[in-house]
Chain A
């Protein structure tokens, strides 16, 4: 049996969707699971260790680029989509789960359904989405029972990973705050390994603020392989928070700007979520923030984040020597 999960959004959404895999595997133990993802996601993550199928790339960027070029024919764009549909047909999926709230995904699933009209197909209607966490909405729609993950508490925290940058400037907590947080953490918990995470394209910006030896420039798949027991992740509204959930890693998430933790927050029962506070928070994703730093960022103080980290460090079991030396 083959099942296709259609996840045509961003990297963070894919990490949220991955939380459905155990439930789908439980329901269909022998099924090979595949994911259809956007090409921009595929470039960062082209395999998932927990599935026996593979990731299929939807060439959204090249299609959009062709669309934007008037000299290109719409018929050629049609042909590219049609070829993708042929490839999916060849794999003969028995079941397709659409996990994406978009008209493109809706139409794609309809195309796939034409190939196997007698088989089950689930897709989300083009309707106004009711409130609730994205994962719960999808799970409810598809009748999949998902457990709420909690972080592993059996291992003590030995490494704190800070992820200061998000994909949207207005979601960023001021970088000076991160610098201050980092130095205070080093003083308070000298036994902790402290690293500031950055992708290669973020390195140049962060190297002016942090010591080179504190920066951990790492690719997505390497990070996924290295995250594990003993880590604590402190991040803005990024895909890394969802990866931490997947890896049962304790988490402190900072939500600012248009970040909406009720809908897109980490799906982990004991994650600590700190939110911005201002009249305009949360704002629309399409609006640029007129303030620098953002008005809502003042709602999260360095002491708040420090306190959340301390709480996490106290909650999880600490190594004997840390308890003896620091009374934690």
Chain B
């Protein structure tokens, strides 16, 4: 497992990281059997280890903003796909992933990169107007009449 601190920055709770991970998992939304779990923030990996134990069969991808942690994590956690948090990687991921994704935020590891992770969250979930437009463009939905009609239907659902 990784150290709980890196260059003066806490990656997770140094006092009881396992309990923090368990508490975090218990607060996450329902994971369905067809989900592709995406975690924003690798931290020290305790929550990833717990998640992996809980959902052994589900595909899981972690986006981490620090390249060095990505490299260390890739070497150590071979059953989890850990990627550097970059717009290219995020775009490639959403274009290649077929399963419905569930985006989980491990905020204890975000520290001063909050805005970066939040932007990634909104891009992955398409939950802001600008990110939704970006996703539509990526998928070619902005030029497709059928897609536009289905989007109208989707946006009408909660009403």
Chain A interfacial positions (CB closer than 8 Å to B): 60, 63-64, 66-82, 85, 103-104, 107-108, 110-111, 114
Contact = CB atoms under 8 A, between A and B. Distances in A.
Interface of B: 28-30, 94, 100-105, 124-127, 132, 135, 139, 141, 145-147, 149-154, 156-159
Contact of A78 (B28, B125, B154, B156): B154
A82 B148 CA distance: 11
A304 to B, nearest CB: 39
B100 A63 contact: no
Contacts, number: 80
A220 B129 CA distance: 43
Given A64-B157, A72-B102, A73-B100, 10 more contacts: A63-B157, A71-B29, A71-B103, A72-B100, A73-B124, A74-B154, A79-B100, A103-B156, A104-B156, A108-B153
- Give the residue among A70, A76, A79 with the most B Cβ atoms within 10 A: A76
Given A71-B125, A75-B94, A75-B126, A110 B149 contact: yes
A107 B147 CA distance: 11
13 contacts: A69-B102, A71-B102, A71-B125, A72-B29, A75-B126, A76-B100, A78-B141, A79-B100, A85-B146, A103-B159, A104-B156, A110-B149, A111-B153
A111 B149 contact: yes
B94 A78 contact: no
A67 B156 contact: no
Contacts of B132: 74
A259 to B, nearest CB: 24
A85 B104 CA distance: 30
B146 A111 contact: yes
Nearest to A76: B100
A67 B139 contact: no
Contacts of A64: 157-158
A107 B125 contact: no
A165 B135 CA distance: 47
Contacts of A78: 141, 147, 150-151, 154
Contacts of B28: 71
Contacts of A73: 100-101, 103, 124-126
B141 to A, nearest CB: 8
A81 B158 contact: no
B157 A72 contact: no
